[in-house]
Amino acid sequence: MEVVEIRDLDGPNMFRLEPVIKIGLKFEGTEDRSAICESMRQRLMESHASCGEDRPTVTIHSMDDPSELVVAFDWKWRSFALGAARYAVDRSLSIDDQTVRDRLRERLGADVESDDAPEWVRDSERTVRAAGVTGTNGKTTTTRLLAHIAQRAGLNVGWSSSTGVYIDGEAVLEGDYSGPSGARRVLLDPDVELGILETARGGLLLRGLAYQSNDVGVFLNVSADHLSLQGVETIETLAEVKSIVVRVTKPDGLVVLNADDPLVLHYRDRVRAPVLLVSQHLDASAVRSHIDAGCQAVVREDEAIIHYKDGAAAEIAWLEDIPMVYGGAAHFMVENALAASGAAIGLGFSIEQIAEGLATFRNDSRTNKGRLNTFEVEGRTVVIDYAHNDVGLRGLTQFSRHVCGDGGRLHLVVGTAGDRRDEDFMALGGVAREEADFVYLKDTPGYLRGRACGEMPALMQAGFEAGEGPGQLSGKYDDEFVAFLKALDQAHNGDVIAVMSQVDQDRMIEEIKRRGGVERVPSG
């Protein structure tokens, strides 16, 4: 048996909806797993009882890798719990050993009040309403849009996201705060009336959720991104991880699920709160039966967004009046608008307040930076988007083809961060060849995340060469900005340059402005 890791999770996690210590184990084929796990359970019980602590609840969990198991137990004091976990896995130690006993008792007794308790916001501590937003794609836009709706309604809103933490529209922290530290910063701010919390996979796996419950949980979608990390090998397990956000929603709250994603829809029977479904397919059987049962739904019906409740329909807005969806051409932006509308309903906003928020949200580089920002320069159109996987790339190319119109050609700058599987990079190359006319494969030096320079473009090139489609490979480039410049210089009047952008939005926008270009902001 190998101990893969001992990890302290401060909040709800994929094993339990409470703080646990995770002991990750990897077994050889001939080992008696049941006997080893039972021995560990007994040693955990023994260590707690010996030190006067309540005996923990110990659970055993299978992982995607059949050779791996996780032993999880609840905890109150970090140093003691981690010591107990180390004692449980080290069969050479005896609880009769005074050194072991002293180690386990460290920071207990007289020092107990200064010890490190789980860093999660309990319901007894939370004084503001909160909405959690999760999914693979669209989290940041949905968070920003929901915060905008609430601000327009007059609330002091705090939100955490992959770009920072914002209180009443002002950035108080910059960087990726889609994990627990960002959520805690929002929920514990004395001036905040409503917290909107973008919640990413990494924080859930590495630290657990930041809070005990939310009032509204939103689950947008799930696709094969960031697999083979932290023991998650399958998209089904990834969905289980993300579902934590909706499984902790209070029974008197509301869960918003995207019915167009079967893996998301699966969780409608695994949550405590009532469910509101969002969909772009009103006639889907799950959506229709949900509406017929009198449950809530927000759907795209022809060219409008409609709210169903108790069998009655109410119009929220026409797509032509929602700038961010580009008249419905940006399919994934429609999904974000539906989800934010559903969440706003759960938070108690009126139809009129939601419609006003949808109509005034601008999908530009100031309000929604890096998300389908569109520019005109030297007769060309540039679309900059934080697409970071093959599903996001298809959404970007679908919209960009719409912008191209007749006769225009699509130049596509492709690449993402290095913490993906080889096959994910190959998939990007294949999609690029299928969807674009000219393809520029970029490296991402600041986001190699264990990869060597040049490795990602090489993998994408292999996928490009194995794929089919009209795309021509224009080359491999050392970084995003260099690839963008090459595409911009090779494009003709009427062409579109679409960029999967992780790092160089500011440099690209500056270059566009230097050349006399302007941002095209949809006005509804």
Range with the poorest average pLDDT among 123-132, 199-208, 515-524: 515-524
pLDDT score for 314: 97
Task: Please tell me the distance from the alpha carbon of residue 388 to that of residue 137, in angstroms, as a whole number.
Answer: 8
Decide if pLDDT at 107 tops 70.
no
What confidence score (pLDDT) does residue 47 get?
A: 87
- The pLDDT-based confidence of 239 (bands split at 50, 70, 90) is very high
Q: What is the per-residue pLDDT for 405?
A: 75
Mean pLDDT for 98-114 is: 59
pLDDT tens-digit map of 455-502: 999 999 999 999 999 999 999 999 999 999 999 999 999 999 999 998
d(CA 515, CA 373): 17
Give the confidence band of 93 by pLDDT, cuts at 50, 70, 90. Answer: low
DSSP string over 6-72: EEEE-S--SS-SS-EEEEEEE--TTS-HHHHHHHHHHHHHHHHHHTTPPPPPEEEEE-SSTTEEEEE
Q: Is the pLDDT of residue 109 over 50?
A: no
Q: Which residue has the tokens 């996987």?
A: 389
Percent of the chain with pLDDT over 90: 78
Tell me the pTM. Answer: 0.92
pLDDT per position as a tens digit, 306-365 = 999 999 999 999 999 999 999 999 999 999 999 999 999 999 999 999 999 999 999 899
pLDDT digits (tens, 9 = 90+) for 14-30: 999 999 999 999 998 87
DSSP assignment string, 128-167? SEEEEEE-SSSHHHHHHHHHHHHHHTT--EEEEETTEEEE
Residue 102: pLDDT above 80? no
User: Is the separation of the CB atoms in 157 and 192 below 8 Å?
Assistant: yes
The pLDDT of residue 110: 40
Residue 521's pLDDT band (cuts 50, 70, 90): confident
CA atoms lying within 13 Å on the CB side of residue 284? 19
Per-residue model confidence as pLDDT tens digits over 229-238: 677 889 999 9
Residue type, 131: A
Segment 82-86 long-range contacts (CB within 8 Å, at least 24 positions apart): 82/6, 82/8, 82/21, 83/47, 84/21, 84/44, 84/47, 84/48, 85/6, 85/21, 85/23, 85/44, 86/6
Pick the more confident residue, 32 or 243: 243
